[in-house]
């Protein structure tokens, strides 16, 4: 960003900020979304393994719960990937 523009004021939701602050906030948001996505992917894999184990042991209630949670974790990644 050109140095002469970093302090350019902008209004965001009735608050005034600068282009530098907006750029910093966006960088943080991207990092946090990546962290949520990676966490949801890891959780989905763990739940998939739990579902398989529960199914093999005949624990249908646990298998169903793990499957539902796995699907929810996958939905999180899909929302982030948009």
Let me know if 80 is exposed, middle or buried by CB neighbors in 10 A (0-12, 13-18, 19+).
Answer: middle
* pLDDT, tens digit (0-9, with 9 covering 90-100), for 44-66: 999 999 999 999 999 999 999 99
- The pLDDT, as a whole number, for residue 80 is 93
- The pLDDT, as a whole number, for residue 2 is 82
- The pLDDT, as a whole number, for residue 59 is 98
Cβ atoms of 21 and 30 closer than 8 Å: no
- Which residue shows structure tokens 């900020």? 17
> pTM for the whole thing?
0.78
């Amino acid at each position: 960003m050109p140095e002469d523009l970093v302090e350019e004021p902008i209004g965001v939701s009735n608050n005034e900020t600068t282009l530098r602050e907006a750029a910093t906030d966006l960088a943080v948001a991207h990092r946090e979304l990546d962290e949520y996505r990676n966490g949801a992917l890891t959780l989905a894999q763990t739940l998939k393994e739990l579902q398989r184990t529960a199914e093999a042991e005949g624990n249908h209630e646990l298998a169903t719960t793990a499957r539902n949670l796995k699907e929810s974790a996958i939905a999180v990644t899909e929302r982030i990937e948009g």
